[in-house]
């Protein structure tokens, strides 16, 4: 597996950040004129850093992720990333007309991997997410957790240095989600990827991240940040995780409460 | 549940847990045994056909209809079929019509596919001819026979023109609705993977639209076959070779009801057979690989 990881992390250029978000604002045309969704957000993700973006509904966290992914343009401000980022969605978004392995091979093809290397590379990536032997499986034959792992492998196939994740485990059951937290932590530590992970689940944020960024809602602003120095391996039921989660939850509730006071 | 820490000594533990979850959550699908397929899928239509034959025969036997120029006996129709077979004409009739139908359908495919893509891609073209194209689907293609005869004369080109006018709107509309139904998520996923522009069309849009396209093909074939029969019946001309439509028209002219029934049965059988042999398996295959086939 070492070869796989060396490949994913190769050419670690001397970039000072994996993503730099500078004074980004975004507004959409709504029924009551222009609606400001993101307001003057500035955020850096260092190479190899794991950052979670946390917020209640309406904080524009998915909008921000789309901007970083280049799927949409900010109204003001600028975003620079170290290469094109990979993106994982809440839905697996695997293509049902391809097998699990061919989904990964398509990602490899689109990034220019030579034909004769694709199959082997896809097998390596499936091994990495512990799905060796699932190359020929159809998407509908896989369980929810397996689909998200194939989606992760497909995202890793892009060999970007930044992985964006938009609530990727929100639709999974608790046991599967817990296992995938372990897997993601393992893969992040082995590959040295930078991860920007969006969630509304406070414990998930604390369980995974080195830094938790809390966004306020309507419009989304950076409300507060926490550095999480709880050593790995972490468990979702660890006391340290629970304590920090309580603190962040209090703050999050405060942000939500403000919207009820008019 | 046992402790599942990710310390190196427990790494195997996590792998084991994961393997267990995968095994528990994977649905095993097995194909139905042959016997079940026979009793549930094959037997009912066979019984239905047998019933129709029985009713038909009893109408003759009990002299409810005793005018063979109105209703021939099943045995008479069989005799006509057998005679055509023994004289080596039966396959000729079928081949004349089927070769026209399939060639016309292939031409329709070649025209309708780029047309459908163009409609899906260019908003202005869609606004201009989209409504006309879906309107054309409800126009019975038999209406095209008189103008086609006037424009092109009594020849094969006229038949192909009628087939095209019947089948092209179906196929193009099928492809168009297939493209419309591609989930936006696939497009977004494709774009993050770098499939934009033509690459996006080729790797994402077209395969994602395939189920709608195949449904359009299926309907397009039905329309081709109907249009062709209309053209052959109305514009029957001996020099064109006798197809199934002409056979029907010849039967009418000779007041030979057994021959008319023979022609109707052949038209029905060929239409169903082509669908069962080509289009239904194609559709099932496309749907099954995507897990969209509802097990009944």
CB A18 within 8 A of CB A162: yes
Nearest residue on chain B to A234, alpha-carbon basis: B5
Q: Domains in chain A: how many in total?
A: 2
Helices B90-121 & B257-274, crossing angle to 10 degrees? 40
**Same domain, yes or no: A183 and A67:** yes
Q: What is the ipTM of this complex?
A: 0.82
Give which of B183, B275, B221 is closest to A97, Cα–Cα: B183
A145 and B188: CB-CB below 8 Å?
no
CB A214 within 8 A of CB A255: yes
Pairing state of beta strands A50-54 and A211-215? parallel
**Is residue A90 in some structural domain?**
no
Q: Is B91 on the interface with A (CB under 8 A)?
A: no
**Same domain, yes or no: A80 and A170:** yes
Nearest residue on chain A to B1, alpha-carbon basis: A175
**Using one digit for the tens of pLDDT, what is the confidence trace for B181-205?**
999 999 989 988 988 888 888 899 9
A182 and B4: CB-CB below 8 Å?
yes
Which of the listed residues A159, A175, A206 is the one where a domain comes to its end? A159
B192 and A87: CB-CB below 8 Å?
yes
Give which of A238, A236, A243, A235 is closest to A226, Cα–Cα: A243
Q: Under CATH, which architecture does the B68-289 domain have? A: Orthogonal Bundle (1.10)
**Same domain, yes or no: A72 and A171:** yes
Q: How far is B215 from chain A (nearest CA, A)?
A: 16
Domain boundaries, position A14: 2-85+166-258
pLDDT of residue A62: 84
Higher local confidence (pLDDT), B105 or A30: B105
Separation between Cα atoms, residue A256 and residue A213, nearest integer Å? 16
**Is residue A28 in some structural domain?**
yes
**Is residue A48 in some structural domain?**
yes
Chain A positions touching B203 (Cβ under 8 A) are 106, 110
Coil/strand/helix, residue B101: helix
**Same domain, yes or no: A117 and A133:** yes
Coil/strand/helix, residue B140: coil
3-state secondary structure A129-170: CCCCCCCCCEHHHCCHHHHHHHHHHHHHHCCCCEEEEECCCC
Separation between Cα atoms, residue B168 and residue B175, nearest integer Å? 11
**Same domain, yes or no: A7 and A72:** yes
Coil/strand/helix, residue A26: strand
**Same domain, yes or no: A59 and A183:** yes
**Same domain, yes or no: A116 and A25:** no
**Same domain, yes or no: A112 and A227:** no
Residue recorded with tokens 């025969």: B57
Half-sphere exposure of A182 (CA within 13 A, CB side): 25
**Using one digit for the tens of pLDDT, what is the confidence trace for A159-210?**
888 999 999 998 888 888 888 898 899 999 988 899 999 998 898 999 999 9
Q: Is A158 on the interface with B (CB under 8 A)?
A: yes
Q: Which of B9, B189, B288 is best to mutate for the A interface (most A CBs within 10 A)?
A: B189
Separation between Cα atoms, residue B223 and residue A26, nearest integer Å? 51
**Using one digit for the tens of pLDDT, what is the confidence trace for A68-120?**
988 888 888 888 888 889 999 988 899 999 999 999 999 999 988 899 999 99
Please tell me the total number of residues recorded for chain B in this structure. 296
**Same domain, yes or no: A116 and A237:** no
**Same domain, yes or no: A125 and A218:** no
**Same domain, yes or no: A103 and A155:** yes
Q: Averaging pLDDT over each range in A57-71, A211-225, B106-120, which range is the top one? A: B106-120
**Is residue A8 in some structural domain?**
yes
Name the pLDDT band for B5 (thresholds 50, 70, 90): very low
């Amino acid at each position: 597996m070492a070869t796989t990881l060396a490949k994913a992390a190769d050419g670690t250029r001397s970039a000072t950040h994996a993503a730099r978000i500078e004074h980004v604002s975004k507004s959409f045309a709504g029924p009551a004129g222009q609606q400001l969704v993101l307001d003057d957000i500035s955020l850096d993700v260092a190479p190899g850093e794991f950052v979670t973006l946390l917020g209640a509904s309406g904080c524009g966290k998915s909008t921000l992720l789309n901007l970083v992914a280049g799927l949409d343009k900010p109204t003001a401000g600028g975003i620079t990333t170290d290469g094109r980022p990979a993106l994982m969605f809440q839905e697996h978004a695997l293509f049902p007309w391809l097998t699990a392995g061919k989904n990964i091979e398509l990602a490899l093809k689109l990034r220019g991997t030579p034909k004769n290397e694709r199959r082997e590379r896809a097998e390596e990536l499936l091994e990495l997410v512990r799905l060796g032997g699932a190359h020929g499986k159809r998407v509908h034959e896989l369980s929810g957790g397996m689909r998200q792992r194939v989606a992760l492998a497909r995202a890793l196939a892009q060999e970007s240095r930044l992985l964006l994740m938009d609530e990727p485990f929100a639709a999974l059951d608790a046991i599967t989600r817990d296992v995938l937290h372990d897997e993601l932590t393992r893969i992040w530590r082995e590959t040295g990827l930078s991860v920007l992970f969006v969630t509304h689940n406070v414990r998930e944020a604390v369980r995974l991240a080195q830094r938790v960024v809390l966004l306020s809602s309507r419009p989304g602003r950076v409300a507060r940040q926490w550095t999480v120095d709880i050593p790995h391996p972490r468990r979702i039921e660890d006391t340290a995780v629970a304590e920090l989660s309580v603190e962040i939850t209090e703050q999050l509730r405060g942000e939500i409460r403000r919207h009820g006071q008019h | 549940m046992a402790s599942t820490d990710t310390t190196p000594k427990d790494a195997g533990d996590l792998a084991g847990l994961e393997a267990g979850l995968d095994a528990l959550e994977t649905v095993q699908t097995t194909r139905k045994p042959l016997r079940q397929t026979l009793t549930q899928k094959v037997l009912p239509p066979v019984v239905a056909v047998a019933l129709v034959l029985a009713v038909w025969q009893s109408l003759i036997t009990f002299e409810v209809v005793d005018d063979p120029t109105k209703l021939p006996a099943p045995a008479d129709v069989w005799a006509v079929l057998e005679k055509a077979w023994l004289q080596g004409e039966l396959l000729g009739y079928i081949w004349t019509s089927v070769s026209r139908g399939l060639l016309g359908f292939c031409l329709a495919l070649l025209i309708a596919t780029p047309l459908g893509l163009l409609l899906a891609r260019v908003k202005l073209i869609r606004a201009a001819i989209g409504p006309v194209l879906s309107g054309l689907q409800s126009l019975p293609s038999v209406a095209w026979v008189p103008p086609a005869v006037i424009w092109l004369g009594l020849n094969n080109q006229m038949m192909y023109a009628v087939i095209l006018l019947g089948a092209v709107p179906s196929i193009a509309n099928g492809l168009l609705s297939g493209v419309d139904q591609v989930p936006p998520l696939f497009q977004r996923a494709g774009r993050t993977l770098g499939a934009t522009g033509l690459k996006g069309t080729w790797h994402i849009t077209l395969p994602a639209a395939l189920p709608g396209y195949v449904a359009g093909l299926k309907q397009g074939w039905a329309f081709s076959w109907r249009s062709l029969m209309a053209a052959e019946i109305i514009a029957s001309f001996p020099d064109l070779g006798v197809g199934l439509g002409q056979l029907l028209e010849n039967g009418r002219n000779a007041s030979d009801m057994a021959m008319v029934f023979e022609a109707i049965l052949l038209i029905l059988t060929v239409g169903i057979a082509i669908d069962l042999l080509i289009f239904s398996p194609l559709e099932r295959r496309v749907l099954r690989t995507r897990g969209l086939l509802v097990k009944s």
